[in-house]
Structure formats: structure tokens, C-alpha cells
Amino acid sequence: MTLRLRRFIGQFALSALFLMILLGQVGRLYDLYFIDRFEAALYDLKIQLFRAQGMDERIAIVDIDEKSLREVGRWPWPRERTAALAAALYEQYGVAAIGFDVVFSEPDQSSGLPVLERLARGELAGETGFRDMLQRIRPRLDYDAVLAGSLAGGQTVLGYYFGFAGDQERVGRLPAPVMSCASLKAQGVGPMRAAGYHANLPPLQARAASAGFFNAHPDFDGVMRGMPMLIELGGECYGSLALMTTQAAMGSERIVLRPADGLRPPALDMDGLRVPLDERGQARVPYRAPGAYQYISAADVLRGAAPAAQLEGRVVLIGSTAPGIMDLRVTPTDKAFPGVEIHASLISGILDGTLPWEPVGVQRYEAMLVLGLGLLLAAALPYLAPLWAALLTLVLSVLLVAGDLYTWSALHMQVPLATSLLTVIGLFVLNMTYGFFVEARSKAQITSLFGQYVPPELVDEMAKDPGRYSLRGESRVMTVLFSDIRDFTSISEGLEASQLADMLNAYLSHMTRLVQERRGTIDKYIGDAIMAFWGAPMSDDRHASDGVLTALAMQASLAELNPVLEQRGWPAVRIGVGVNTGRMSVGNMGSRFRMSYTVMADAVNLASRLEGLTKQYGVGVLAGEATREACPEFAFMLVDRVRVKGKDRPVAIYEPLGVAAELPADRLAEAQAFEAAVADYQAGRWDAAEAALRGLRQRNPRKLYDVYLERIGHFRADPPPEGWDGVFTFTTK
């Protein structure tokens, strides 16, 4: 068998395996997340490219905004204010219909009527005048009845929501169902099944034209691409807020189900307006460009100050953009999109007939396309030169994308594209890389040998792009870490040599894993000490953060490691960790007998000193000032300002506490109180510093507090010289 034939068989077998995986995705035997994510990204791109421009003059949003809350009061408003809003919209502005993106499931208590009625039945039961007066003013104080009267002034659609498996409570009164779900299921449509609901008060629902649910059902990635049009409860199907508001505005008497017709899926029909449904009873949202809808403050409507031309004859949705009560959703066009505008977009799409739809049997057509393209490329690519193979792949990809964009823009048809596109591109990549891996076998052997004396991380990166990496020395801003077992001498004296070796291997393996999980490079082991760095050979913009996180993880992991050590008869360990950031020389250094990829600089020496200082202060981790400045997301506590041995310039040293947003308030408060005490100490205010430190020690005994209390006692007896700068000088490492 010739080499060319062996290569063809190998490439064809690999292509066939790839095709089988993709066909399993098309047939929904499983869901590959990256393909689903790619399909979703392509869909979102089409929404953004082809969304309608300009303002839709048929729909307006009356906004319960911050201005409305300032002028009318906090939400929820008394029902008589909502009634006044509805009455103004119908009587003064002549709107066509109102859809409420809110639910009125509980009786109004703001008028004080319940209190007056209790008095009439109790303490003032004998006061005829009080009862007569209450009878006269009751109609004005029954705000629910006032609102019900306003709702009857036009085509009002109330909002409500369904509960599912975890929420079976049934509150309020549902509107009449749209249809029986049996007819939908006969067409292969299975809506979501609810277990409960939170609907409106019966008097309100009785006077409204209808009601629609505003439940949302995001896709797998949390993005709202579609909305349920129907939800099932007890075998009956109920309509969404957008659907029922459109019906009310159109004056349509009923909604009927139209069966699938050719490629077109089943659809709801309102006097010729069609709402195509997917298999879950959802409709895709045809999002529009920003500024598609006129927002009018509810306060302006109540004052009669809203321009009449912006409301007359329009479909009005009442929602909110005020912080705290605003309903925000993630959509293909925005990370924080007002929920009320999703309903508006659906109404626009229903009226325009532009709701995106997926053809019937699309999986079958997609499978045929994937299989046809796959067999063509699997047979052709092994025999084509790279240039011609790339040209064929490009032509097929362009044809697929162009056809998809045409069906979307001209027919509003959504046809899956990701799997077909991945078939073309994936087979090209597989065939082109197959030869590369075969021919690169010798290179892999060299890499394996090279990795015997160079860190594995460097080998992996060099194998991907050798030109980017060099063992020659260079200067970089990096972060270095030193860790050391405390009292290791006494530990080693209590163990036999073999036990000590086994314990060290277990400890170093555990800590090394933590370093490598944060893309750190192990420089060397110095007995029980570990030296590691971040920022080389792989660049790392977060080298300081990764170093600090590793240091904290090393301390935290002792709770997991020590029980394992003790179970094997070895002593528990405590460690100190020093972390520092600065400019360092990194590269292959040593002699002609032995080289090592390592770092050298003053910043490296300081990190080693910081590790040694941890036991002086009784803290687990100490970090330098440069590290603190490079980690704005972390909270640090100033421990001291010191001169380490061999250095004249003082440095500030800090204890990293963790990610600031994740720390409890009392931990941050303790750190602030300690820093204030240190400031008093450095300023020579011994009494204030001592009182604060004793209070901290009483709440949380720490060696750190004792260190400062001992210093204060010393300075009381032997005051520091005049001009003392508060810096503590260490004379030992």
C-alpha cells in the first residue's frame, strides 16, 4: 500500500468519525455546547445585522421611571393612581389598548378602608353617623373598585405569571384560555406546563378585556431569543402578554391555530396575523434597533403633560425602567434590555409579519446537507494541494453563509448554520493537520527530550510557536513566590530519612499542583522551600493576582493536606509565604555544566525576606507594595513598614486578605481598625494604639497584635529617638 493511499485512508477515516459526531449533534442524540454556542452567536449576529431601524409609531411605553416615583411615590402605587393613569390614557389620550407588565394579585390597603371597616365592626359599631359616613365614602376608598372601573374604559390587558414545579400556589383569577392544548399537541407543539399562577384580583380581571402572562424562558446561555406564546395549565393554553395585547388592539375576537403548511410551522392566527410557533410554543423575538419605541413618563401622563400625538391610537405598554423595579433581560442586542421592550418587539413583529421562524423538518435537511458536504470534502481534500483545498473551503463557506443570510432577510427563516459551517471548516482543518502531525513525529521526540530539563509549561508553549520563546535572558515585570515549612528542622529530626522523603514528596506535590493551576512556573525546590514565579515563559497580565491567589490557596489547602499527613503518621505542617512583584531578569542561567531557567533581581530577594518575616508577625502570607498595587481587586491589610536586612530603604508589607468583593464586612472592618492602630503606633500615639490593639486581641487573638503591644511596651520604657519614622528595622533574615 502506497504512502499516498495510507494517508487517504487515514484522512477519510478521521473525516468519517468527525461527520458521525456532527450528525449525532444534528439528530439531537447529544448536545455539544460549543456548537450550540456557535449557533447562538450566529443567530445573534443576524438579529443585530438585520434588525429594523427607526421608531415604531404604533406602540408606546408608559414608563414608571424615576421621575414618576419622585412625583407620585414609591412603587407599588395606590390603585387609585394606577386607575387615574389608565383613565387618562383612555379618556384624555385615546389609546387603542393598554398592556400592563405588572400584576395586581393582592388587595389594595393604602386607602385605609380596611381600618375604617374594622372600626365600624368594633369600637365604633354603635356610632350611626360613622357608619353612614363610611357608607358614603366607601366607593371612593375602594381603590380596587376604582381601578376596575378604569380598566373597563378600553381594551385593557392585565399581566400575570405562572409558577412551575417549585411554585404551585394559585393566586387570583386567570383569564379565559386561548384554546385547548390538545390541538397544539396534535401539531407537535408542546408548551411549557405550569403548576400554579399569580394572577390578578377577580374584580380587576372581570373588568379587563383580557390578561396575558409575562413569563420568560431564556435559552441555555441565559439569552432571551424567544418568548413563550402559550403555556399549558390543566389542559388549557393561555396566551402571553404580547399576544393578548395584540389581539385586544386589533379587536380580534378569537385566536385560531393554523396547522403546518409545507415548510411553515404551526402558527396562531388573529384575523390574518400569524404567529409562528416552535415545538415549545415559543415565538422568536424580532428585536429592533435602539430608539424603536417612544418612552413616556407615567408622571407626565398623570399631569396631562404628555404630547397627545405620541399616544393617540397607539398600543400602550405600562412598564418600568426605574432601578429596583426594572425588569432587565439579556438579549442578542443588549446585556441589560428592558423586559417591557421585549413585549413591544413581539407586538411589532406580529403586526409586521416579521417573526423569525424555523422550517418544518429542518433537522432532516440539515443532516442531508452535513452528510453531502462531508462526503464531498472527505473524498476531495486528501488529493488537493493546500491552496486549492483552502479555496474550496472558502467557496463552500461563502455559499453557506450567503444562502443563510438570504433566507433570513427575505423570508425571516431561521435555518441552522453552525453545524454545516463546522463541517466545511472542521474537515479542512482535520485534513490539513493530519499530515502535520504525521510529519512532526520526529519533532515530538525532540520536544520530549527537551522537556527533561526545561519546565513542561515552557515546552508546551515552545512546541506551539517556537519563534516566540527564547532561553536568553530578558527583563520583565513579574511576580515571585517563596514558601517554607515552619520549624522544619524539628520535624525532620522526628522522622526517619525515608519518612521525611515521602512526607516532602507529598507536600511538594500538593503545593506544586496549586502553583501550576494558576499557570505558575516552579523555579526550584530548596529543601522544604518552594520558589515559583509568574509572567515567564508565558506572558501573564494577571501575574500578581495569580501569585496572591496561589499563596492564599496554599494556606487554605493546609486544612485538606494536614489530615492526610497525620493519617500517615506524619506531623501537620505550617507554612509561611512571601510574594513580591517587580522587574526581574529571567532566562537560562548557570554554568556550562548545568543551566536552569530562573529569575534574579532585588525584587526576588525581597520576596524571600517577606517569607521569613511571616513567622515574626504570625501571618500566613506577606506581600510587597508593588504586588498590592498590581491587584486592585484584592483587599490587603498593612502589616508594617520595615527595613529588611541588607536594605536601607523602608518598604511597606501587607497581608493579602482575599478578593475584596467576597470578604465579609467584619473582616474588612478588623483590617481597617488594625491599620488605624498601626498609624497611631507609627505616630507615637502609644495610648490610642494600645487601646485599639487590646480591643482587637480580645475579639480575635493574633500574634500580630502581641508583636505591636510588645513594641509599645518597649517604647514606653525606652522611647525611640526624635524624628523616628515608625519603620522597624530587622537585623536578621
User: What pLDDT, in 10s, does the model give residues 405-436?
Assistant: 999 999 999 999 999 999 999 999 988 887 66
Q: Per the domain annotation, does 458 fall within a domain?
A: no
pLDDT at residue 687 is higher than 90: yes
Q: Quote the pLDDT of residue 695.
A: 95
| Domain count across the chain | 4
- Domain match, 536 and 683 both: no
Specify whether the backbone of 590 is left (phi greater than 0), alpha (psi in -120 to 50) or beta. left
The predicted structure's pLDDT at residue 466: 52
Query: What is the largest distance, in Å, between two alpha-carbon atoms of the chain?
Result: 113
- What CA–CA distances, in Å, run from 471 to 455, 537, 590? 12, 9, 12
3-state SS, residue 269: strand
- State the pairing for strand pair 97-100/328-329: unpaired
Asked if the structure places residue 526 within a domain, the reply is yes
In this predicted structure, the answer to whether residue 3 has a pLDDT above a threshold of 80 is no
Higher pLDDT, 181 or 447: 181
> Is residue 306 in a domain?
yes
Nearest to 588 by CA among 463, 443, 462: 462
Average pLDDT in the 90-94 region? 95
484 and 420 inside one domain: no
| pTM of the shown model | 0.60
Higher pLDDT, 81 or 516: 81
Q: Do 413 and 334 have their domain in common?
A: no
pLDDT at 727 over 90: no
118, pLDDT greater than 80: no
Quote the pLDDT of residue 652.
Answer: 94
Q: How far apart are CA 269 and CA 267, in angstroms?
A: 6
Give the pLDDT of residue 544: 96
Structural domain includes residue 446: no
* CB burial readout 185-194, b (16+ within 10 A) else e: eebebebbeb
C-alpha cell at 606: 525581597
pLDDT tens for each residue of 610-647: 999 999 999 999 999 999 999 999 999 999 999 877 67
- Where does a domain end: 334, 352, 370? 352
Lowest mean pLDDT among 112-121, 295-304, 582-591: 112-121
Does one domain contain both 139 and 288? yes
Q: What is the pLDDT of residues 482-508, one digit of tens each?
A: 999 998 988 888 889 899 999 999 999
Residue 455 lies in a domain: no
* Structural domain for 406, as ranges: 3-48+358-439
Same-domain check for residues 77 and 141: yes
CA distance 296 to 294: 6
User: What confidence tier does 67 reach under pLDDT thresholds 50, 70, 90?
Assistant: very high
Q: How far apart are CA 79 and CA 234, in angstroms?
A: 31
Q: pLDDT category, 519, cuts 50, 70, 90?
A: confident
Rounded to 5 degrees, what are φ and ψ at 583? -80, 130
Q: Are residues 623 and 686 in the same domain?
A: no
What's the pLDDT tens digit per position in 130-162?
A: 565 656 666 667 788 899 999 999 999 999 999
Indicate if the pLDDT at residue 452 is higher than 90: no
Helix/strand/coil (H/E/C) assignment for every residue in 626-676? HHHHCCCCEEEEEEEEEECCCCCCCEEEEEEEEEHHHCCHHHHHHHHHHHH
CATH number at residue 534: 3.30.70.1230
Please check whether residues 188 and 41 belong to one and the same domain.
Answer: no
Mean pLDDT, rounded, for 520-539: 88
| Whole-Å CA distances, 638 to 113, 221, 362, 653, 673 | 60, 42, 63, 6, 11
Please give the mean pLDDT across all residues of the chain. 89
Are residues 657 and 668 part of one domain?
A: no
Instruction: Quote the CA–CA distance of 84 and 200 in Å, as a whole number.
Output: 18
Confidence of residue 445 (pLDDT cuts 50, 70, 90): very low
Domain boundary among 352, 372, 398: 352
**Rounded Cα distance, 548 and 25, in Å:** 42
| Same domain flag for 233 and 97 | yes
Domain co-membership, 265 together with 387: no
What is the rounded CA–CA span in Å between residue 592 and residue 9? Answer: 49
Q: Do 162 and 205 have their domain in common?
A: yes
- Provide the pLDDT confidence category of residue 548 given band limits of 50, 70 and 90: very high
Same domain, 122 and 148: yes
C-alpha to C-alpha distance for 96 and 158, rounded to whole angstroms: 15
Query: Is residue 445, in this structure, part of any structural domain at all?
Result: no
Domain boundary among 352, 386, 402: 352
* Res. 708: pLDDT tops 90: yes
Residues 6 or more apart whose CB falls under 8 angstroms from that of 456 comprise: none
User: Where does residue 168 rank: exposed (0-12), middle (13-18), buried (19+ CB within 10 A)?
Assistant: exposed
